[in-house]
A and B are shown apart, each in its own frame.
Chain A
């Protein structure tokens, strides 16, 4: 066997473990009369082990793997950990949510799809070759179609699955076309070679622009930013809640990984000014989605729009050629993970008790279940970036990174977005605390398992809003990309 291949294997351990976990679950699924609980605990244990092995990689020096297809560096390890954590949460949610846990007989398939999605995310954030990027995106997409249409009885889930398949198909087709033009221009699909080629030779700038725009179509779809966010809101509205939580959070994290790596490596020192273009895309995203969210009455749609806004702000952290300045975005991703997962979990708990499709159905939650209502409220405030929560601190760092690079005007739009998001959040909080409960809604408590998960999510949201230096140091350490 080739020595490079053998040498690469130890660095690839988390992914290998993930693959073996998929096999194990498949076998467990074939076994007759296997209890769903066994499957659940084996997936949780497996993901926890993978998380530990990923963590162990953080001290390993950066290097290229498998003939320059993948890379391990602090940046990818950091994002892999986040993706793994989001998958862990999503699996816990699926066991709690009545929407998905009533489909126990298919749970092996369900877990396989989530693991596949996670594997795709792992590969995507460490890809350094455009072909590898494309393959990983396809792996994620296929798992996502299946997950969003997983509840076969639901017409809306099937609709969202079909919509996802069509729109993601278009996005990947455009992206593949862009990749082929880049290959034609530079003679390679390796991101580092493209970077070297572009800084050494001059190419036709119009062709380069077209190819970058085409690739951007695919990347923007993954990040759910302008111009493709308006397809995603429909998908998120119609999928089941745990799936929506996973797709939004994991999708944005893995999408950001390739977004950042693509621009930082392929256009490193190339003289191609991509920073203003990205800030324009991000500003358009946060402004349009901020305003669009004002008129939403459906909770999932409203949260979907707020998620797109956050994705826009995360991209705004990408304003410099220097990967060290990704710190603000990486910090934001952590906060994004915890506050979004927290909100979705609160909605899952509520929708287990009664239909929580519309914000008016939340009326009187404050008196029906005060603890849940207060925790929900804190997550919401963190989502919109109110001071004293980690959401504000994350926006503060994006603003400082913009200021530090001399971009004054996007800061104004970030501030505007905070205010618009606050307005949307207040619509929900008003229903929770200020209005009388609907007739027929009952008081309910939250179980122990639910309160533990809520606390795991709540503590980072509050702690990183008050004392954020350790996490910033971690993000600074992780903002290192191979070869830059």
Chain B
């Protein structure tokens, strides 16, 4: 078991709370010192990024299992709340329990990278600097906390608190429809949170930790089937209650994801947010949503997950088709990006539903890749918006001649999104399809998805052609991007390229977690719905 400590505080606490510390320092500064505020925010994000790289380096990828004590590393565990038994109310023990496995480590790195780049990108185009950075860093803490907490109560707190900064940022910095959109998204996503909390309570009251003898919120103890009381509401396998719980968890998480039929609030919110904020929040919300599905829904109810596999695959396929055709109808680059997030979420769902090792690791890898590409697409759309003053892809054409450096960097992004071989998302797409075609009754979903993905790729390449090679635009005074923008885009472009050539860099880290998850699911049951 790996441990890493600074000043006697574990590294995961540092990673989680450094942005919050930065936010508190900023809170003490007056609004006029905008330069210092930006520096502190950038420093906090940079330290977080360095710590998360340390995490990647020290992470022992040989640890096997999923949601077991051996699979978790950098564990920090203190009793937070300890309340004695009281009448028929059981003893409630809530732990401050942080732990990381392959999935968390990967996505913490991605989150902190995105947060650092987005802080860089938003330095020069924000009005109320103080409010902006406090809210942003607060969101960073909440989202990172979601990825490291191994106690479900703690997880829920972080998970739902992360909605609040998005609400305020949308409402304060958004466009014309900001007040309506921000409230609707908060209500929708928080409803999902309450559904999840209800399931967490059911899990808590149905569990009996064989070690301590009490009910437990710990994901480790809940994942072991022997800790769930047989006579409880979710005891046994494939009971109606278990099916409903899994469906509730899926809906709960989907309410904050761009998944049909709940996608429109997510897409509206991302459209309202300034591009550099959408770059951070679109990615991290997709990460936290799918992380919850991977960490909670699938391992805690593996039998029901198998049962619903066919529907999940079909749901993924519907998302791909729906997202693709919505994307075709748009000409606003930000909306196109938002719908791209919908189709890649569908793609991730399709891979998950196969429950094969290839499909699952393809999904997790695709999650990583699509978030990287989404971040870059949003940042690019922000840059284009600032340079040309328009987000409409019909109005800016022929950027190639004016902005060659920008063109080179954008190649990686658009072709990565289109799934060109040699770039990152090609590898994950191959893994997903090889996993999906292994399963017999998935043929329908797989063909639909393949069709959708191909259409989307063609569209993205045509879009790229239109933006960069169209007839020269009226804007004659366009200048190329400056060094700061290059510094923001270059790391992401490099990640896209390197992961295209060496996908094993990420796959090695996640492989043991993913195969642990796959074996949990394959050991659970064989009953499944096989088409209608």
Contacts and interface: CB of A to CB of B under 8 A. Distances in A.
A347 to B, nearest CB: 21
A79 B193 CA distance: 33
Interface stretch (A200-208, A319-327, A332-340): A319-327
B201 interface: yes
A434 B179 contact: yes
B24 to A, nearest CB: 13
B339 interface: no
Interface string B83-105: 11011111010000000000000
Given A387-B161, A388-B161, A411-B201, A325 B89 contact: yes
B207 to A, nearest CB: 12
A182 interface: no
Interface string B190-223: 1101110110011001000000000000000000
16 contacts: A325-B88, A327-B89, A401-B89, A415-B198, A418-B194, A419-B187, A422-B186, A426-B167, A426-B186, A430-B183, A434-B172, A434-B179, A434-B182, A435-B179, A473-B83, A476-B84
Given A399-B201, A422-B187, A415 B81 contact: no
- Which 6 pairs show the lowest CB-CB distances between chains A and B? A434-B171, A404-B89, A324-B87, A325-B87, A322-B87, A415-B194
A415 B160 CA distance: 14
B302 to A, nearest CB: 24
B194 A400 contact: no
Interface string B135-166: 00000000000000000000011001100100
A433 B81 contact: no
B183 A426 contact: yes
Contacts of A85: none
Given A399-B201, A426-B183, A434-B182, A324 B190 contact: no
B88 A322 contact: yes
Nearest to B197: A415
B87 A403 contact: no
B280 interface: no
A183 interface: no
B82 interface: yes
B88 A422 contact: no
B17 interface: no
B256 interface: no
Contacts, number: 89
A442 interface: no
Contacts of B172: 433-434
Given A324-B87, A386-B190, 9 more contacts: A327-B86, A328-B89, A404-B88, A422-B190, A427-B183, A430-B171, A433-B168, A433-B171, A469-B82
Interface of B: 80-84, 86-90, 92, 156-157, 160-161, 164, 167-168, 171-172, 178-179, 182-183, 186-187, 190-191, 193-195, 197-198, 201-202, 205, 233
Contacts of B191: 419
Contacts of B179: 430, 434-435
A17 to B, nearest CB: 33
Given A415-B194, A418-B194, A476-B86, A403 B187 contact: no
A411 B183 contact: no
A322 B88 CA distance: 9
B187 A426 contact: yes
Interface in A406-452: 408, 411-412, 415, 418-419, 422-423, 426-427, 430, 433-435
Given A387-B160, A388-B157, A419-B194, A325 B86 contact: yes
B34 to A, nearest CB: 16
Interface in A277-313: none
A81 interface: no
Contact of B87 (A320, A412, A415, A430): A320
A104 interface: no
B201 A423 contact: no
Contacts of A468: 81
A301 B141 CA distance: 36
Most chain B beta-carbon contacts within 10 A, residue among A322, A387, A419: A387
A377 to B, nearest CB: 9
A458 interface: no
Interface string A29-57: 00000000000000000000000000000
Contacts of B193: 387
Contacts of A401: 89
A324 B87 CA distance: 6
Contacts of B233: 408
A419 B190 contact: yes
A473 B178 CA distance: 44
Contact of A320 (B88, B160, B202): B88
A405 interface: yes
B156 A387 contact: yes
Contacts of A162: none
Contacts of B80: 467
Nearest to A479: B86
A398 B395 CA distance: 57
Contacts of B202: 403
A418 B187 CA distance: 10
A405 B168 contact: no
A472 interface: yes
A414 to B, nearest CB: 9
Contacts of B167: 426
Contacts of A412: 198
Nearest to B168: A433
A468 B80 CA distance: 9
Contacts of A434: 171-172, 178-179, 182
Contacts of A386: 160, 164, 190
Contacts of B90: 400, 404
A400 B164 contact: no
B92 A400 contact: yes
Contacts of A473: 83
A404 B90 CA distance: 7
B138 to A, nearest CB: 11
Contacts of A419: 187, 190-191, 194
A325 B84 CA distance: 12
B275 to A, nearest CB: 20
Contacts of B86: 324-325, 327, 476, 479
Nearest to A401: B89
B167 to A, nearest CB: 8
Given A320-B88, A422-B187, A426-B186, A404 B205 contact: yes
Given A405-B88, A469-B82, A469-B83, A400 B168 contact: no
Contacts of B190: 386, 419, 422
A134 to B, nearest CB: 30
A273 B92 CA distance: 28
Contacts of B82: 469
A262 B161 CA distance: 39
A419 B198 CA distance: 13
Most chain A beta-carbon contacts within 10 A, residue among B84, B201, B233: B201
Contacts of B187: 419, 422-423, 426
A221 B509 CA distance: 62
B83 A472 contact: yes
Contacts of B171: 430, 433-434
Nearest to B170: A434
A393 to B, nearest CB: 9
A411 B88 contact: no
Contacts of A403: 201-202, 205
Contacts of B201: 399-400, 403, 411
Nearest to A469: B81
A281 to B, nearest CB: 21
Nearest to A322: B87
A464 B182 CA distance: 28
Nearest to A388: B161
A415 B164 CA distance: 18
B508 to A, nearest CB: 36
Contacts of A430: 171, 179, 182-183
Nearest to B191: A419
A427 B205 CA distance: 35
